[in-house]
Amino acid sequence: MLQENQVLQGRYRIIKALGQGGMGAVFLARELSLDIPCVVKEMLPLSDPAFAETFAEQFKREAKTLADLRHPNLPRVTHYFIENGNYYLVMDMIDGMGLDKLIGPNGMRESVVLDIGDQLLGVLDYIHSKGVLHRDIKPANIILQPDGRAVLVDFGLVKVDSGRGGKDGPSIRGLTPHYAPPEQYTGGTDQRSDLFSLAATLYQLLTGRLPVSATDQSSGESQQSIRMYRGDASENTERVIMKALSLDRKQRYQDAASMRAALKGAVPAQAQGLQYSPTIVIPDPELLSQTPEHAMSIEAISEARSAPQPEAIMLGPGLFLDMMRVPGGEFKMGSGSQDADAFVEESPQHTLFVDVFLIGKYNVTNAQFAAFTAATGYQTAAEKEGNGYIYTASGWRDAAGADWRHPKGPGSDINGKDNYPVVLVSWDDAVAFCQWASQASGGRVIALPSEAQWEKAARGVQGRLFPWGGTFTPGGSAEPDPSRVNFNMNVGMPTPVGKYSPAWDSPHGVSDMAGNVWEWTGSLHRLYPYNARDGREDPTSRDARVLRGGAFNSPRRVLRCAYRSWSLPHFRFDYLGFRVVASQQMSDLSKKSDI
């Protein structure tokens, strides 16, 4: 058992144990050279020495396979090694809470369970295509992050399919009753085995009850229907889960894509009817080998010298949006090799041409959102469902009664905070505001920015690291600090819009593009390179949308202009708001053949 402050490989200092089981333990650690947190999984070798060599080879093979996996719902495996006869995997630390800690006695809301199921079936489809089986899917191995992302963890105990079929060889893992299919007790697991385990997990999330184990069912105990415990569950949801729980795997869905398609039948599509400015991708094979300081163009010099002025879009008497014009042209999107803080999903860095657009100088405020609700009678998702997610000293929690008017729940209010960013609004709520604003403006097309528009407005053609500047090496006068940005809990809550303006605005004069509150974009979360025509700007999809900018509780790394996060469209947090973009007048749109 590893001890606190023990150092492995001269590189990983153990901080504390996170969990322990019969096959090993998981530890929070710190990578010393980069000074970042990580997770170290220690696996004990099999007790039978006859399998020692086989075990070691299997571990190395599986570790290499896991290190090649890249998916937003998986942690990255960054290193593996053997030390003192024990086996270790090093993975990204995933912030959030295990689903086993979130299941109430009556289960979770069906809409949340369906979102989680859809995400996990997406990641299973991915790993199965790589020949990888998880074989221990259960609530404790799924971490729900504050933005709604479900991350499948405990990938130290997988099976890499050799393609030969037949029974499983000596395995690094055991199994977990109630979630394990019958074939896992005898060997011969395949991708349908993971679908059984996921179905057992979804069953528990919906009902709050453990499913009857495969062994108990074989002894004659029946699996009760979901609707026996949850009469409000849809028939389709029950049908899909119970089919995947069939003891005979031939009666289950034969792959994750089929089960995902069936589960989506319970989620009605909602068309929003928005339009977005076109963005064209131009591949960049050099991936920006030059630093921004050495890649200054004439456009960049002009941009740096100009003093951007806001343009007002009137929404009614005394009500307007301050907008900043972002000229059309190319810019570098994503992160190159010179940024040591970059995440994989920020690459490859590539050149985009973005047409001219206007973007809100500030986030939409409480006063502006109040005008919208007063004019339309609109109720937000948090108001209708009676809850929202708020950040506290001990982390985030689901708070009854929290909504945009009561950002910390009952007893709180927004009196005197007209000029604060509106929060606890879902993506759907933000879209509804845009639709109203388009009508109220008398002819503008107002929408959420694509993530390409957002990033260009934040960093400009200079390719700034932070909206105000900065270098790719931490340290120096341009680093984030409380005088220029609300981050890292230095204030502990949102501040008024424009508090740090104009000194710390973006090159295009846009305020608060780092910290304070996260911002919804119109873009679906997809891998780079960005291409507006590949479906990622589909306004009807219920998949996750990209978030940008970081919030009052975000660390330095998240404040970078290229950083990408995401959330499901119905989620709402007290550190999540939005700003808008606007097109030309509607009467001019017919003159643009590419819209």
Q: Which residues are catalytic?
A: 136
Report the amino acid identity of residue 550: G
DSSP for 20-78, written as a single string: EETTEEEEEEEETTTTEEEEEEEEPPPS-GGGHHHHHHHHHHHHHHHHT---TTSPPEE
The Cα–Cα gap between 408 and 522 comes to: 26
The closest alpha carbon to 480, from 491, 287, 349, belongs to 491
Residues 198 and 137 sit within 8 Å (Cβ to Cβ): yes
Distance CA(408)–CA(570), nearest Å, equals 18
* 569 CB neighbour count, 10 Å cutoff: 23
Q: Position 56: which residue type?
A: A
Report the Cα 180 to chain-centroid distance in Å. Answer: 28
CA distance linking residue 103 with residue 105, whole number of Å: 7
Token pair of 444 as six digits: 């503008």
DSSP secondary structure string for all residues of 119-140: HHHHHHHHHHHTTEE-----GG
What 3 state SS string does 377-396 have?
CCCCHHHHHCEEEEEECCEE
**Contact of 457 with 359, CB cutoff 8 Å:** yes
Say if CB 424 and CB 402 are below 8 A apart: yes
Distance of CA 536 to the CA centre of its chain: 15
The SS3 call for residue 18 is strand
DSSP 507: T
User: Which residues have CB under 8 Å from 415's CB, separation 6+?
Assistant: none
Among 292, 342, 282, residue whose Cα is nearest residue 530: 282
Calpha distance 516→174 (Å, rounded) = 45
d(Cα 476, Cα 464) in Å, to the nearest integer?
15
Q: Which residues contact 384 (CB under 8 A, 6 or more apart)?
A: none
The answer to whether 369 and 325 are in contact (CB under 8 A) is no
Please compute, for residue 334, the number of CA atoms within 13 A of its CA located in the half-sphere on the CB side: 26
Closest CA to 136 of 171, 111, 110, 167: 171
